[in-house]
Amino acid sequence: MIYAHSGIFFFLFYCPFRSWDYEITLRYCIVFLVQYTQKESQKLGLVGWVCNTPQNSVNGQIQGTREQVELMKAWLQTKGSDKSRIDKACFTHERTLDALEFTQFKIVK
């Protein structure tokens, strides 16, 4: 067992879930990326949301275990949909969670 004097360390080490906000900037086929993001998130067992923005980007939030979230971050940075070209992937607002805040992964309009 690991003992730590800091309650913060204990919380970060043992907290089962992670949450990240993201923005993906791409050149074309935003609609495909939104649909593929939902499909990949569901495949990985993540919850959260995704939506298009007027600035030709896709925003959203992913929540799940650290392993699930890291797999999705890699997918968003390198793969995306078959018809999109990702220019930039930005991840912000990392949080640790005791429980998930969503029950599914959905497309927000």
What is the model's pTM? 0.82
Identify the pLDDT of residue 88: 92
Q: What would the CATH number be for the domain defined by 17-107?
A: 3.30.70.100
- Each domain of the chain, given as residue ranges in start order, spans 17-107
Tell me what pLDDT residue 15 has.
66
How does DSSP assign the chain, residue by residue? ----S-HHHHHHHH--EEEEEEEEEESS-HHHHHHHHHHHHHHHT-EEEEEE-TTSEEEEEEEE-HHHHHHHHHHHHHT--TT--EEEEEEEEEEEESS-S-SSEEE--
Average pLDDT per consecutive 10 residues, the chain (109 residues; last block may be shorter)? 44 74 83 89 97 90 96 92 85 94 95
